[in-house]
Amino acid sequence: MFEVTLELQKDAVEMRKVYANTVREKIVENTPIIALEADLMSSMAMDGVHKDHPQHVINCGIMEANVIGVAAGLSLTGRVPFVHTFTAFASRRCFDQLFMSLDYQKNNVKIIASDAGVSACHNGGTHMSFEDMGIVRGLANSVVMEVTDAVMFRNILLQLMDLKGFYWVRTIRKQATQVYKEGSTFTIGKANLLRDGSDVTLIANGIMVAEALKAAEMLEREGVSAAVIDMFTLKPIDKDIIIKYAAKTGKIVTCENHSIHNGLGSAVAEVLVENHPVPMRRVGVKERYGQVGTQEFLQQEYGLTAEHILEAAKALL
Amino acid sequence: MKDVQEVRELARHIRIETLKMLTGLGFGHYGGSMSVVETLAVLYGDVMRIDPTKPDWQERDYFVLSKGHAGPALYATLALKGYFPVSELQTLNQNGTRLPSHPDRLRTTGVDATTGSLGQGVSIAAGMALSHKLAGRSNRVFCILGDGELNEGQCWEAFQFIAHHNLHNLTLFIDYNKQQLDGTLDEVIKPFDLAGKFSAFGFDVQTIKGDDVEAISEAVTPVRHAEQRPLVVILDSIKGQGVKYLEQLANSHHLRLTPDVKLEIENAIAELEAAHV
């Protein structure tokens, strides 16, 4: 069960600290976790954990393809590998390895893909992934998620320790906007209705959840009732809630820090067209590559703000 | 080595069964299956700690066929060791089969890792070896790579990783048969000084004849200890090894049998069946 906090303040703890702290906790508890890094250990606050637990945190160096294979071998011998690297390298760089060494042979490996979309900021366009969710959701056995805030990230990480299979968790590294109250829990594959509404439904994931909540406030001031759904599991997607809210509000806007192709917008459109077609708009990155900049600048530049969601919703009304 | 004759007999039968299954089908990866027959016979017939009645036994040694296109030779070996009936070999590549041309651990009993996209098996083997080493377990891991497979950059990532972590419980075999799909290595991508490259990475390198079962067995015995370096065995082999007709072909990587070629292979099978080793 989850509870929403309405303040929309920054999380107290960075997402990378959530990862490092949770991994450390599971190591100390003597679970079979083993964390693999590809020379981005310090970027993910894992250097301290590595120093204290060198048998449980392996820095494999800059060789993402090999890291995926090593994780497969660890899985085949009973360990629970978590692999972290930047989203771009975890997806584009080693897709065949994800397919062949993990998903096809049902290995038990969790990929933590950081620096999602525009949050790669000053690493710029070369390091910015707008494609990964689409790439990974094409795999037959994959479960694909994007976490919203620190409370959710920790809860999902804890769940993944006990779930077998190929899981993809996309996240930003720094502070997210807090959406959920401490102690909230989440069901993988089931979306969260954050706010009910009757005129339009905003379906968002990742950093766009907070933007959608802000947009819903703005819409309310204009007399429009907007529902907000956090679709943190992209695959398997929660069809029921999409169909229910398409029927209830008759209009859908998707909001993602990703290309509008093959990610959340596409996945929601697929459900609608086969079940309950309604007019929709996709807020997301449109046929562009990234560039350097602050997250605020990039969200503005790529159309990923509450104002852009507001505009898209109004176009449907 | 326990019994040289027994291992040679196993090799002869692996070769016969592999030829029969490919010839029954009418096409397949002949050359690269033949060149690893003796290594498979030594591993499964002498060296590896296995129990075919318990394919998932946690104490077992692990095998990864990184050059996955030699799958048929592995299937023949597994069937002859009793992982599944020899009669099932005739279902190779048939619709709905448990024996696809490249090994699939979810389909075939006894296959430890799914391979076929080249370069990936060696990383999986490295992960297995790391896992056993970190846990202080005595399981060993064996992995056969093709020489053409070394074109893949991922192999070299894995070699650095294996050397860095001193995975002494892992033995790599390079099937140095000097041919890849489109021609010889020298024509496609030169291997240059193969042994020298592995030495430079910090491996213990041994080069032996690819069909010398005693030398293969000696190379991996006794079991290596933590202070020793990881081992790579370069198998100086011949594509199509053990079948004169195939050895003499310019390219035996993949054959689609014409009636003439089929007759040649059938004669070779008859000769092998009649042979007293």
Question: A79 to chain B: nearest residue by CA?
Answer: B131
pLDDT digits (tens, 9 = 90+) for B228-257: 999 999 999 999 999 999 999 988 888 899
CATH at B161: 3.40.50.970
Say yes or no to pLDDT of A73 above 60.
yes
CA distance A81 to chain B (A): 10
Residues of A in contact with B58 (CB under 8 A): 78
* Percent with pLDDT over 70 in chain A: 100
CA distance B122 to chain A (A): 8
Average pLDDT along chain A: 98
pLDDT digits (tens, 9 = 90+) for B21-62: 999 999 999 999 999 999 999 999 999 999 999 999 999 999
Q: How far apart are CA A178 and CA A115, in angstroms?
A: 18
CA distance B169 to chain A (A): 14
CB pair distance less than 8 Å for A97 and B120: yes
Structurally, how many domains does chain B consist of? Answer: 1
Q: Domains (ranges, CATH) in chain A?
A: 8-180 (3.40.50.970), 192-315 (3.40.50.920)
Nearest by CB to B106, which of A72, A81, A105? A105
Question: B131 to chain A: nearest residue by CA?
Answer: A74
- Tokens at B100, concatenated: 């696809």
Asked if the peptide bond before residue A54 counts as cis, ω within 30 degrees of 0, the response is no
For residue B227, what pLDDT band results from cuts at 50, 70 and 90? confident
pLDDT of residue B253: 87
pLDDT digits (tens, 9 = 90+) for B258-275: 999 999 999 999 999 999
CB pair distance less than 8 Å for A65 and B104: no
Nearest by CB to A76, which of B113, B122, B160? B113
Q: How far apart are CA A156 and CA A154, in angstroms?
A: 5
Asked if the peptide bond before residue A32 counts as cis, ω within 30 degrees of 0, the response is no
CB A29 within 8 Å of CB A53: no
pLDDT of residue B223: 84
pLDDT digits (tens, 9 = 90+) for A192-231: 999 999 999 999 999 999 999 999 999 999 999 999 999 9
CA distance A316 to chain B (A): 47
Q: Domain residues for B250?
A: 4-274
Q: How many CB atoms lie within 10 A of CB B182?
A: 11
Nearest by CB to A63, which of B127, B139, B161? B161
pLDDT of residue B226: 83
What is the DSSP secondary-structure string of B88-125? GGGGTT-TT-S--SS--TTTSTT--S---STTHHHHHH
pLDDT digits (tens, 9 = 90+) for A80-136: 999 999 999 999 999 999 999 999 999 999 999 999 999 999 999 999 999 999 999
Three-point CA angle A147, A148, A154, nearest 5°: 60
Nearest by CB to A69, which of B106, B123, B131? B123
Nearest to A11 by CA among A24, A1, A21: A21
Say yes or no to pLDDT of A302 above 70.
yes
Verdict on whether the full-model pTM lies above 0.90: yes
Interface of B with A in 152-191 (CB under 8 A): 153-154, 157-158, 160-161, 164
* Percent with pLDDT over 90 in chain A: 99
Q: How far apart are CA A201 and CA A283, in angstroms?
A: 13
Which residues neighbour B168 within 8 Å (Cβ) at sequence distance 6 or greater? B133, B224, B225, B226, B227, B228, B229, B230, B231
pLDDT of residue B73: 98
How many residue pairs bridge chain A and chain B with CB atoms within 8 Å of each other? Answer: 101
* Percent with pLDDT over 70 in chain B: 100
Say yes or no to pLDDT of A233 above 60.
yes
Question: B130 to chain A: nearest residue by CA?
Answer: A74
Residues of A in contact with B164 (CB under 8 A): 61
Q: How far apart are CA A150 and CA A20, in angstroms?
A: 12
Question: B134 to chain A: nearest residue by CA?
Answer: A55
CB pair distance less than 8 Å for A97 and B116: no
Interface of B with A in 189-248 (CB under 8 A): none
Residues of B in contact with A71 (CB under 8 A): 127
CB pair distance less than 8 Å for B124 and A55: no
Say yes or no to pLDDT of B277 above 60.
no
